[in-house]
Every structure is written in C-alpha cells, then in structure tokens.
C-alpha cells in the first residue's frame, strides 16, 4: 500500500459514518508495518481523542502481526540464536526495545564474568565462578516475592531489575556460559527449569533459580519421584531453544491468568500456536 493511500485512510479513521470508519480500520489492520509510523505521527500531530484510541488499536494489531511473523521466522531459521528469540518475545510488551541494546548489556555481563573466569580449572569450579559473579557480585536473583510478575519472563526486565523466574534466569545463565565456550543447555522439567553441563568427562545439573546450585542426575530423579511425575527421558536431557521460548510464553499465560487479562492470554496462545505449528511441520 503506497504512502498517499495510507495517509488518506488514516484521515478517515474517525469518520462520522461508522461504516466508513469500520472499513478503514479493517483495511489499515491488513496493511503492513510501514503504516505504524504514519499512524503514530497522525495520532501525535492532529488526531482527536477518538482517533487516538482507534489508532492505538490498529498499531497494536499491526505490531502483533509483525511479532508473529518474526517469531515464525526465528523458530524456522534462526532458533540457534536464543537472544534474538527472547528479544522478539520482549517486544510483545516493550515494542521499542532494541536487539542491539540487549546485546550490549549481555556483553557487559559477559565481560564481568570473563575477567574472573579461568579455563584451567575443574568444570565445577568454573560454574561456581559464574555463580559468584552473576549472583553475588552482580546481584541477579529469583523473584520469589512476585513470582507471577510478567516482567520475570522479559529478558530486558530481567537484565534491568536483576530478577527473574527459573526459565529466564537459566536462559541468561546459558547465554553467558556458552559465550565462555561451556557446554550448558536448558532442561525442561515439570514445574521447574534447570540447566545441564554436559561433556564426555563431566555431566551435572545447575539450578539458576537457586543461585546456580549444582546437583546430580539422581537429584533430578528424586525431584520427579517426590512429585509423583512419570519419569521420561526428556526430563534428563537438554532441550532446544524453541522449547525454552514456548516455556516462557506458558509462564506469561499463567502470569496474565492471575491478572485476569483475557486479551493478553489470547495473544500469547496465538504465539504458542506459531511455535507449535512450526514444530509440527519441521
């Protein structure tokens, strides 16, 4: 859709003829992301209060459509880049957060760990060094006082507030560990998300939600047994990045369920369907 046509449509969003206004809104919602900037400019410069409300609804719809496209592309082509997936999800609540700013902040955290990290020590001691920097020096911690706060699943909030849930803290930990060339991956346990350090001569688990506590496969087995959860091989193995993002979306659905925000629950279920659909066709 060309700019002149977009501008003409935008000027009619609050037309007194409701049929005209309704048709305009639907056409704008079917346009592309190029309409967002024009809509926001019109809302700022000359829109009535009624038009501003309508424009907000249209821009929200366009951004969500773009988010789904990005998420689909990521899950099928770029899922090795977990930070990009986290960024895409964070734009659901923070549309203006930039990937480059997130990368810079991750680099700062990585540098803090790197200056104290040693490659010539036992793997346990390497993990303990990461724990010391992330949790003691930098102050990252689990948000146990407000576990269902949606910000616990937003990577930009986790970095800014230094608070998170099991999935977000483990994922941040995993990103830093991998930048240090350590074989650390996520493990998708029921009711908990943990990490696994896995190579030929060393294999153990890490709970970033509990300040990087190190434990064994038997401990995972005991955890599952205590909760009377049927044992499955996948509960002991590394999961992929799409699974991590799916788990974060499920956490957000639970968070907004507590807030009884049905519109956001519906949106998040659509995002979940994007990931589930891509898994089915892969």
Interval 118-176: pLDDT, tens: 999 999 999 999 999 999 999 999 999 999 999 999 999 999 999 999 999 999 999 99
d(CA 84, CA 87): 5
User: Which whole number is the average pLDDT over 232-250?
Assistant: 97
Q: Is 100 helix (H, G, I), strand (E, B) or coil?
A: helix
pLDDT-derived band of residue 43, with 50, 70 and 90 as boundaries?
Answer: confident
User: Which whole number is the average pLDDT over 213-234?
Assistant: 96
pLDDT for position 219: 97
Residue 108, token pair as written in the block: 């700062």
pLDDT for position 20: 84
pLDDT-derived band of residue 32, with 50, 70 and 90 as boundaries?
Answer: confident
Query: pTM for this structure?
Result: 0.91
pLDDT for position 24: 84
What percentage of the chain has pLDDT greater than the value 90? 74
pLDDT for position 281: 37
d(CA 143, CA 199): 31
Whether 278 has a pLDDT exceeding 70, the answer reads: no
pLDDT for position 277: 67
d(CA 142, CA 166): 7
Handedness of CA 105, 71, 157, 183 (dihedral sign): negative
Residue 129, sorted as left (phi over 0), alpha (psi -120 to 50) or beta, turns out to be alpha
φ/ψ of 266, rounded to 5, equals -60, -45
User: Which whole number is the average pLDDT over 48-68?
Assistant: 88
d(CA 184, CA 197): 5
User: Which whole number is the average pLDDT over 19-28?
Assistant: 86
Residue 79, token pair as written in the block: 């899922």
Within a 13 Å sphere around the CA of 275, how many CA atoms are in the beta-carbon half?
23
d(CA 68, CA 268): 10
SS (H, E, C) 197-238: EEECCEEEEEEHHHCCEEECHHHHHHHHHHCCCCCCHHHHCC
pLDDT for position 207: 98
Least confident of 39-48, 129-138, 217-226: 39-48
């Amino acid at each position: 859709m060309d700019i002149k046509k977009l501008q003409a449509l935008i000027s009619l969003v609050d037309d007194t003829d409701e049929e005209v206004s309704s048709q305009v809104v639907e056409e704008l919602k079917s346009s592309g992301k190029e309409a967002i900037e024009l809509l926001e400019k019109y809302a700022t410069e000359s829109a009535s209060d009624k038009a501003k409300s309508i424009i907000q609804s249209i821009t929200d719809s366009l951004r969500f459509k773009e988010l789904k496209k990005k998420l689909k592309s990521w899950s099928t082509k770029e899922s090795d880049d977990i930070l990009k997936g986290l960024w895409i999800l964070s734009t659901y609540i923070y549309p203006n957060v930039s990937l480059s700013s997130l990368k810079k902040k991750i680099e700062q955290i990585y540098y803090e760990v790197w200056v104290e990290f040693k490659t010539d020590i036992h793997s346990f001691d390497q993990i303990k060094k990461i724990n010391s920097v992330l949790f003691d020096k930098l102050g990252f911690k689990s948000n146990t006082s407000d576990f269902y706060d949606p910000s616990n699943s937003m990577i930009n909030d986790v970095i800014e507030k230094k608070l998170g849930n099991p999935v977000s803290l483990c994922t941040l930990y995993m990103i830093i560990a991998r930048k240090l060339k350590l074989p650390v991956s996520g493990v998708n346990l029921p009711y908990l998300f943990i990490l696994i350090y896995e190579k030929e001569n060393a294999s153990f688990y890490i709970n970033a939600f509990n300040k990087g506590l190190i434990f064994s496969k038997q401990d995972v087995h005991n955890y599952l047994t205590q909760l009377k959860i049927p044992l499955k091989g996948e509960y002991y193995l590394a999961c992929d990045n799409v699974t991590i993002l799916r788990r974060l979306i499920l956490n957000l659905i639970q968070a907004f369920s507590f807030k009884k925000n049905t519109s956001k629950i519906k949106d998040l279920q659509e995002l979940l369907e994007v990931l589930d659909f891509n898994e089915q066709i892969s």
